[in-house]
Amino acid sequence: MELYTLARIIHVVSVVIWIGGVAMVTMVIIPSIKEMNSAKDKMASFESIEGKFQTIAKITTILTAITGFYMVEYLNAWQHFLQLKFWWMHAMVLVWLIFTIVLFVLEPFVLHKLFKKYMQENPENTFRIMHKAHWILLILSIITIIGAVAGSHGWYFIK
């Protein structure tokens, strides 16, 4: 098997696990945690579940980037970043960059402390904002997946 095909398989499987996990957290886990009565239970459940997923997300974002940049190099597709019809290439890098900054920088150094502080002050509002942020990232990721699958098969939506 060609290394390029293997890279493509790893790329797609990583994206499925990573964005699938984000979908699960957004559409199932946060709504059920929101229904819990005590703020203490809410925080403990969220931290335990999201904490476990974070390691998976970190590994899959790294694999997505390694295989993604390998494919750009293999396809000699760097000039695609200069063309509007390859907007989905920009979207892939943007989604990856946002998640990388959140997972490796913001969460450990800023968000974790902020989350604890705001959870003590106003748990309802904290979960509302967090849920919204998850939806925004999920929708952006789904648009990117639609654009990437269509675009890599020659359907660009724009000229």
Q: Tell me which residues touch ligand HEM (CB under 6 A).
A: 8, 11-12, 15, 19, 64-65, 68-69, 71-72, 75, 77, 92-93, 95-96, 141, 144-145, 148-149, 152
Q: How many Å apart are CA 67 and CA 4, to the nearest integer? A: 9
Least Å distance, CB 149 to ligand HEM, is 4
- Cβ closest to ligand HEM, residue 49 vs residue 72: 72
Least Å distance, CB 5 to ligand HEM, is 10
Instruction: Count Cβ atoms within 10 A of the Cβ of residue 12 and give its class: 0-12 exposed, 13-18 middle, 19 or more buried.
Output: middle
Residue 25: CB atoms within 10 A of its CB come to 22
Cβ contacts of 78 within 8 Å, gap of 6 or more: 72
Answer for the pair 119, 42: CB distance below 8 angstroms, yes or no. yes
Least Å distance, CB 130 to ligand HEM, is 20
- Cβ closest to ligand HEM, residue 30 vs residue 65: 65
- Cβ closest to ligand HEM, residue 64 vs residue 126: 64
- Cβ closest to ligand HEM, residue 12 vs residue 103: 12
Q: How many Å apart are CA 40 and CA 95, to the nearest integer? A: 32
Q: How many Å apart are CA 27 and CA 92, to the nearest integer? A: 22
Least Å distance, CB 99 to ligand HEM, is 7
Residue nearest to ligand HEM (CB): 68
